[in-house]
């Protein structure tokens, strides 16, 4: 983090500016200066962190009433520089920035947490691991793929499930291989009641012992979507608030996520591999080669309960405002965000610039 003399050129906003106004203002802006009226005002840290989480890559400068004791917090929140008065001694700032070289949790900066450093020593980097596993079992069956992932020493693995139309098959395979695997469910607050009932039914039936509900941050939700109507005006922002950001936080403690994606589901998934890397994290896709018929055969053979909405024509099920039934023969995901230029919620797309969405 740099220490700069005043005055830094760029867009200047007080930290009291509402988040949505800041996001609108920074589109196309190279430098944003956030002005603190008091050192104890944490809104500037929150604004910086959220902007970075949502992909804004411009230069971020803190100005006004900030203290050297806050140097590391500013850096970890995503600030690149601090604007300081002429003649102000830079030594305390430099000393605070150099005081510690270990972090224990992920944040907006590029510092690698201690637990991930240890993991990096214990195994190969994610890209090399994905390449090796694809070469070994990438064309194998789902159980073979799952077992290969679970066999990697020290690899912390969780599953991601929507408890949607085809979720039972993947969860059944996981339950039969390692039932204690954590299962992350994005509780957006917008699910069909049938989905919530199905989650409880399926979890009990399969003996899943660690289903975790991942919810949006309450303060962000109150600030960005207080009336729960954001999906009408900006579906991408709604997915970002309710899915992308919560998953990024919940998944930070895992090295790999298992997903139920399949190549046949949509054009955006035709090139999927069994193992891939997204933002430095391994993604495991055991069902990639399976067709809808393969999924149906496994479900029938195992007598797995169906999602109640499947019989009503819902082939892919997400939040109720953005999910509709599909006609026979249509793409399985054509009922998601129907009529909108959107095909993915964003959790499988990696980091993206929010302002360009």
Write out the residue range of the structural domain in which residue 238 sits: 115-356
CB 241 within 8 A of CB 224: yes
Residues in a beta bridge with 212? 184
**Dist. CA 100–CA 96, nearest whole Å:** 8
> Do residues 178 and 51 both lie within one domain?
no
Give the Cα separation of 134 and 128 in Å (integer): 10
Q: Is 345 a catalytic residue?
A: yes
Sequential pLDDT tens for the chain (357 residues): 888 878 889 999 999 999 999 999 999 999 999 999 999 999 999 999 999 988 899 999 999 999 999 999 999 999 999 998 877 888 898 888 888 777 777 777 877 776 666 555 435 588 889 999 999 998 889 999 999 999 998 889 999 999 988 899 999 999 999 999 999 999 999 999 999 999 999 999 999 989 999 999 999 999 999 999 998 888 888 888 988 888 888 888 889 999 988 877 655 567 789 999 887 889 999 999 888 899 999 999 999 999 999 888 888 888 898 888 887 766 666 767 666 767 667 677 654 333 333
Instruction: With beta carbons less than 8 A apart as the criterion, state whether 211 and 183 touch.
Output: yes
Same-domain pairing of 162 and 68: no
For the beta carbon of residue 133, count every other beta carbon within 10 angstroms: 22
Which 3 state secondary structure label does DSSP give 158? strand
- Separation of alpha carbons 240 and 351, rounded Å: 11
State the Cα–Cα distance between residues 198 and 204, nearest whole angstrom. 10
Last residue of a domain, one of 55, 86, 111: 111
Domain boundary among 88, 111, 134: 111
Starting at the earlier edge strand, list the strands of the sheet with 11-14: 2-4, 81-83, 59-64, 31-36, 11-14
One domain, residues 178 and 69: no
Distance CA 106, CA 254 (A): 12
Asked if 96 and 123 sit in the same domain, the reply is no
Q: 96, 111, 126 — which closes off a domain?
A: 111
Contact call for residues 248 and 323 (beta carbons, < 8 A): no
The domain spanning residue 123 has which CATH number?
3.40.50.620
Whether residue 84 sits in one domain with residue 125: no
10: domain CATH number is 3.40.50
- Same domain, yes or no: 167 and 71: no
Q: Name the DSSP class of 319.
A: B
DSSP SS3 for 258: strand
121, 101: one domain: no
Catalytic residue among 238, 239, 319, 345: 345
Q: Quick one: 31 and 163 in the same domain?
A: no
CA distance 235 to 60: 27
Give counts: helices (H), strands (E), the chain: 14, 11
Q: Within this chain, do residues 91 and 151 fall inside the same structural domain, yes or no?
A: no
How many domains are contained in the chain? 2
Strand partners, 62: 34, 82
Same domain, 81 and 157: no
Same domain, 308 and 197: yes
User: Same domain, yes or no, for 150 and 244?
Assistant: yes
Burial call 192-215: b when 16+ CB within 10 Å, e when fewer: bebbeebbeebbeebebeebeebe
């Amino acid at each position: 983090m740099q220490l700069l003399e005043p005055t830094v050129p760029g867009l200047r906003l007080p930290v009291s500016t509402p988040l949505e106004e800041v996001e609108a203002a920074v589109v196309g802006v190279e430098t944003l200066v956030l002005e603190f009226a008091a050192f104890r005002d944490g809104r500037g840290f929150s604004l910086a962190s959220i902007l970075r989480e949502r992909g804004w890559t411009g230069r971020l400068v803190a100005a006004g009433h900030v203290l050297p004791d806050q140097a590391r917090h500013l850096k970890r929140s995503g600030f690149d520089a601090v604007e300081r008065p002429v003649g102000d001694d830079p030594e305390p700032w430099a000393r605070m920035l150099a005081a510690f070289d270990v972090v224990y949790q992920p944040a907006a900066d590029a510092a690698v947490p201690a637990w991930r450093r240890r993991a990096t020593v214990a195994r190969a980097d994610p890209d090399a691991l994905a390449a090796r596993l694809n070469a070994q079992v990438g064309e194998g069956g789902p159980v073979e793929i799952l077992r290969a992932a679970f066999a990697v020493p020290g690899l912390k693995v969780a599953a991601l499930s929507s408890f949607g139309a085809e979720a039972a098959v993947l969860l059944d395979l996981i339950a039969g291989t390692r039932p204690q695997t954590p299962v992350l469910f994005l509780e957006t607050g917008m699910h069909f009641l049938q989905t919530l009932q199905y989650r409880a039914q399926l979890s009990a039936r399969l003996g899943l012992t660690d289903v975790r509900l991942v919810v949006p941050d309450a303060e962000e939700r109150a600030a960005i979507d207080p009336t729960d109507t954001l999906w009408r005006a900006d579906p991408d922002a709604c997915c970002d608030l309710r899915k992308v950001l919560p998953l990024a936080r919940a998944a930070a403690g895992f090295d790999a996520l298992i997903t139920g994606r399949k190549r046949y589901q949509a054009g955006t998934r035709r090139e999927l591999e069994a193992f891939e890397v997204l933002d430095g994290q391994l993604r495991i896709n055991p069902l990639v080669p399976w067709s809808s018929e393969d999924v149906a055969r496994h479900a029938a053979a195992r007598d797995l309960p169906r999602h109640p909405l499947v019989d009503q024509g819902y082939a892919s099920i997400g939040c109720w405002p953005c999910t509709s039934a599909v006609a026979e023969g249509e793409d399985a995901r054509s009922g998601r965000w129907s009529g909108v230029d959107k095909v993915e919620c964003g959790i499988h797309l990696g980091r993206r610039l929010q302002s360009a969405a």
